[in-house]
Amino acid sequence: MNYTLNQLQIFLRITETKSITKAADELHLTQPAVSIQLKNFQDQFDIPLTEVIGRKIYITDFGMEIAEAAENILNHVYAIRHKTLAYEGLLTGRLKISVVSTGKYVMPYFLSDFVNEHSGIELAMDVTNKARVIESLKNNEVDYSLVSVLPDSLDIEKLDLMQNKLFLVGNKAYPTKKVLHPKEIFAELPLIFREKGSGTRRIMEHFIAQNNITVIKKMELTSNEAVKQAVLAGLGYSIMPLIGIKNELFKKDLQIAPVKGLPITSTWSLIWMKGKKHSPVAAAFLEYLKNEKANIVARKFDFYEEY
C-alpha cells in the first residue's frame, strides 16, 4: 500500500461529513481534487470503502474501520510533531474549536495573533450548524465552542467575547428611512429565515413572539451567507447579525431598516464543558483571551460603534 497522509486526512473528513462537497469546503480543496484522492485511496483496497446511493455517499463497515485506523495514524503523526516542537521549547499541540456558521466572521480575529505567535500550534476549527457545535462539545471532541445562544441542556463554563447585534436588513431598494413599529413593517415585508436549530433563527423567533408579530415567511435557508445573498437579490428581508454584513453595508448594497426594538443583542461566548481539563495549548489560549479580548474587539470590530 502507498497511501499518503493527505489521503488519510481527506478520507477521514469524508467519513465525518458524509459528503465530498462538505469535506472539500472544510479542507479548502476543490470537489474534483477530493474525489480524485478518494478514488486513489480506494484503489489500494479490494473491499469498498464507500458506496453511492442516489446522490448520497455512505461509508461501508470496512470504510469505518479504515477511518478509525486513519484517525489513529494521524494522531500519532501530530504527536510526533508536537513532541519535536516541545523538545525545542515551543508551545505545541492541537487547538480544536467548533464554531456556529455566523461565528466564522468572529472567531478568526480572536485566534490569529495567538496562533501566529506560537508556530507549534495546529488549529482545527470546524464551522458548522449549532446542533453539531453542541454535539461536538458534549462528546468532548473539541476544546471550545463559539456560540451566540447558550445551550440549555449542558453544564458549561464560558468567557464572553463581544456583543452580537442583529438588525432587520434589506437591499438598497428598501423604500423608507422612517422608523416603523415592528407590527407595521413585518406585516408588509417577506421574511427570510435561517434553518431550525440556528441560533440566529432562535433569536429572531423570540423577537417575533415577544412582540406578537404576524410575519410573511418567504423562505428558509441553511446558512447566513445564503440568507445574505437572497436579501441582496431582492428575494426578501431578514434579521441578520451585523458581524456578517459589514462589507455590504459599507458598499451600500444592503441597508438596515429602522425598526423600534432593534437591534436585538446577544453575546458571542466561548464555552466549554464544566470541569474540563484543558491541554496546555487550550489553557494558554483561554488565558490569552482573558487578557486580550478587549483589545481585539477595539482593534478589529471598531465599526460596531457606528450602528
What's the pLDDT tens digit per position in 251-291? 999 999 888 889 999 999 999 999 999 988 899 999 999 99
Q: Which three cell numbers stand for residue 168?
A: 432587520
Q: 54: left (phi > 0), else alpha (psi -120 to 50), else beta?
A: left
Q: How confident is the model at residue 237 (pLDDT cuts 50, 70, 90)?
A: very high
The predicted pLDDT at position 239 comes to 94
Q: What is the mean pLDDT of residues 111-137?
A: 90
Render the burial of 261-299: b for 16+ CB within 10 Å, e for the rest: ebbbebebbbbbbeeeeeeebbebbbebbeeebeebbee
- Phi, psi of 48, rounded to the nearest 5 degrees: -60, 140
Nearest to 170 by CA among 264, 253, 263: 253
Tens digit of pLDDT for each residue in 168-183? 999 988 766 777 788 8
Which range, of 44-58, 128-142, 178-192, averages the lowest pLDDT?
178-192
Work out the pLDDT band at 119, boundaries 50, 70, 90. confident
Work out the number of other CB atoms within 10 angstroms of the CB of residue 48.
12
pLDDT, tens digit, for every residue of 8-39? 989 999 998 889 988 888 888 898 999 999 99
Alpha-carbon distance of 64 to 41, in angstroms, equals 14
Q: What share of the chain is helix, strand, coil (3-state, %, to 5)?
A: 45, 25, 30
Is residue 121 predicted with pLDDT exceeding 70?
yes
Does the predicted TM-score (pTM) go above 0.85?
Answer: no
249 falls in which pLDDT band (50, 70, 90)?
very high
Q: Please give the mean pLDDT across all residues of the chain.
A: 89
- Can you give the pLDDT at residue 84? 66
Cell of 155: 453544564
Domains and CATH numbers, the chain: 5-70 (1.10.10.10), 90-162+267-306 (3.40.190.10), 163-266 (3.40.190.290)
